[in-house]
Chain A
Amino acid sequence: MSVRGIRVGRISVPWRPRHLVVVLAASLVALAVAVVSAGVGDFSIAPSRVLAVLVGGGERREELVILTIRLPRILVALLVGVALGVSGAVVQTTARNALASPDLLGITAGASVGAVAVIVLGGDGGTVSGLLDTVGVPAGALVGGLLAAALVLLIIRRTGSGGLQPILVGVGVSALLGGLVSWMMVEASINDAARANVWLTGSLNGRSWGELWPLLLVVLVCLPLLVPLSTRLGAIDLGADVARGLGVSMLRTQGALLVLAVLLASVTTAAAGPIAFVALVSPHLARLASGSSRPPLAASAAIGALLVVASDLVARTVLAPIQVPVGAITALVGAPFLLWLLIRTRREVRR
């Protein structure tokens, strides 16, 4: 694969047409699926009418269905996918491990403890309801996820970031929090446990504009901050010594990258529950599709969005009128894709 560069002033960026094709193709398919998804449901609307509604010309009934019910949910799905794809790619590159994902920073486990605690301890007798359900569960997840990530990062700061240390700390903290979740699941009444299980699977059911705004805000703040850091990912991928030799301050860059990844992953987990598989698999799909040696950020984001929005469409329709949680579907959609890429792609550049 030939790599040419584009140079503007002091900044040069390698020109990789295949990356661009992957990003554009994944984004276009994701948007197309989003439009189709907005038309599918109890009240079905043709894709052309969906587009008409989106530009402001539709019947009142169509506007009501699309703008108040389906659109916010679809936008949440797209943003969740973008955020998970990016944070997964950042964590995988920073940890230099193909099995790493934001889970490793304790976010999923911490958010699970927070949300499950609200569901199991908050409901008296039956199930949680009202304000506790709509605000309490996401808030519990957000606080739990951020606290867990802070704990992991603090321990790593104390123990040093050399070798396996950060990974082992992440594993230990996640195991501790995972034990707490299992404990609550075993002690809870079956109603609470089943509700907690739906949350733990990751669901987009009934998401509205209220869940969208915080997510949008965090994504819009974090992505621009990632752009200048992303050029250093290549150096980090080559190892601490090479990075230091190239003048990249390892600790500060890694710290900043991980904080951004934590924010992105926590806010998605609060919005949609732990759809952990997306963060793990989107970077691999992006890497295999674009023939790159490390996960490309833009392609990971586009593929993440495609994965979540497509999974959500399947989740809403496959067993209708039952709405399956989206987290149960992402693996059904993503895993065969990963297997196919795995056996199809030949490695182009041999080391």
Chain B
Amino acid sequence: MTVLTVAERRDRRQRGWLGIALAALVVSTLISLFVGSRGLAPADLVAVMLGGGTHEARAILFDLRLPRTVIGVVAGAAFAVAGALMQGHTRNPLADPGLLGVGAGAALAVVLAISVLGLTTPIGYLWFAFAGAAAAAVVVTAFGLLGASRRDSSPASLVLAGTAITALLGAITGLILLLDTATFDIYRFWSVGSLAGGRGFDVILPVLPFILVGIGIAIAHASTLDALALGDDIVKSMGRRLAPARFTGLLAVTLLVGGGVAIAGSIGFVGLIVPHLVRRFTGPGHRWLLPQCAVIGGILVVLADVIGRLIVMPAELPVGVVLGVVGAPVFLVIVARLRGSRARGSRVRS
């Protein structure tokens, strides 16, 4: 009989969790493909998957349900991993992926695209959102590093620079929207976050490489994040250089959030809560946290989208609304239940 070390036992358990989560992702994906306002019989859909099926069923599956499911999985994974990275780098549980100014930059670029160039389709916004996101991230990082070099190297400067730039970009966007009601009418649907509305594979494919690279960088970067959690001084004394580590992390966040916002609008809430949920069963170590966040983020967005399709049939609710209205109470219950029992236990002890 082999004796397992604590670490091996933990890895074995975490591998199990990840397997369960992946299975749940597959189930969610299937639900998303089979459920919709156009009630197609499961037999028809199976026939389509096997290469046959009616023309209508093929169109619904391949042109409507498959793209939005893929967008949900990809965007959810991107936001959740980016959120975990931001929280790790800033050591602040309130940091969401939007803190780097990425979401605000993308929003401003999209509003300009609608207002000045008259674009109205997700594929049209795509590169504007991405460029805006990247530009904002560069500015925030520059100010954050400049502030850090003048004061101290703690992530506080980055947090403040992100807060300021995000607010500034948001204010400019807000001013344009207040003066231009026609743009506001288009923008309000983009801003809430949605997987539908003419988003096909032409929207996903150009962005997918960026998001995959972002997730790859993030996971490769996990041990640095673990070191960062102990403080910047520990990182330095372990012989690692802080600036490259921070730069890598921020690059990954920019790729992930820029890509996510470009394909699905701003569903930043996922990035804020998924890491907190996942940490409850992976613990704080990033090696398991990051992949698990990617999977759970995907599940959450896909399921929220399914609920949004069912809840007000034949119309549908944008995924951003469902995440808030249905996802937040679930989050509250999980947070309250788990910690509540532990707090009671400790009170008995003291």
A residues near B (Cβ < 8 Å) are 97-100, 104, 155, 158-160, 162-165, 167-169, 171-173, 175-180, 182-183, 185-186, 190, 193-194, 197-198, 201, 277, 280-281, 284, 319, 322, 324-325, 327-332, 334-336, 338-339, 342-347, 350
Chain B interface size, as a band, is: 35 or more
Could you say which of B123-131, B268-276, B289-297 contacts chain A? B268-276
- Contacts A98-B156, A324-B175, A328-B174 hold; do A167 and B164 have CB atoms under 8 A apart? no
Nearest A residue (CB) for B343:
A160
Q: Report the minimum CB–CB distance from B49 to chain A (whole Å).
A: 33
- A98 to B92 CA separation, bound complex (whole angstroms): 8
Secondary structure at chain B's binding surface: helix, strand, loop or mixed?
helix
Give 3 nearest A-B pairs by CB, closest first. A179-B324, A160-B343, A176-B328
**Which residue from chain A places its CB closest to the CB of B93 in the assembled complex?**
A164
Q: Which of A99, A162, A176 meets B94, CB within 8 Å? A: A99
Shortest C-beta distance, B105 to chain A (Å), equals 14
Q: Contact at A176–B163, with CB atoms within 8 Å?
A: no
Q: For the complex, is B135 an interface residue (Cβ under 8 Å from A)?
A: no
Given contacts A159-B339, A182-B192, A198-B178, contact A338 B325 (CB under 8 A): no
Q: Are B188 and A185 in contact (CB under 8 A)?
A: yes
Alpha-carbon separation in the docked complex, A308 to B300 (Å): 40
User: Closest residue to B168 on the A side, CB-wise?
Assistant: A335
- Say how far A147's CB is from chain B's closest CB, in angstroms: 15
The residue in A98, A182, A322, A347 that gathers the most chain B C-beta atoms within 10 A of its C-beta is A182
- Bound complex: CA A160 to CA B346 (Å): 11
Q: Is B17 an interface residue (CB 8 A)?
A: no
Bound CA–CA A97/B155 (angstroms): 13
Nearest Cβ in chain A — how far from B19, in angstroms?
Answer: 27
A251 CB to nearest chain B CB (Å) = 12
A193 touching B94 by the CB < 8 A rule?
no
- Apart from A186-B321, A330-B171, what are 8 other A-B pairs with CB-CB below 8 Å? A99-B92, A172-B328, A173-B332, A175-B331, A176-B325, A182-B192, A182-B318, A343-B146
A169 to B188, CA, bound (A): 27
Complex contact A280–B325 (CB within 8 A): no
Q: Are B163 and A155 in contact (CB under 8 A)?
A: no
Contact A342 B332 (CB under 8 A): no
CB distance from B86 to the nearest CB of A (A): 11
Min CB gap B208→A, angstroms = 27
B242 contacts the other chain (Cβ, under 8 Å)?
A: no
* B171 and A331 contacting across the interface, CB-CB below 8 Å: yes
Q: Is the CB of A178 within 8 A of B178?
A: no
- B323 contacts A167, CB within 8 Å? no
In the complex the two chains form, what is the Cα distance from A347 to B147 in whole Å?
Answer: 10
* In the complex, B223 has a CB within 8 A of chain A: no
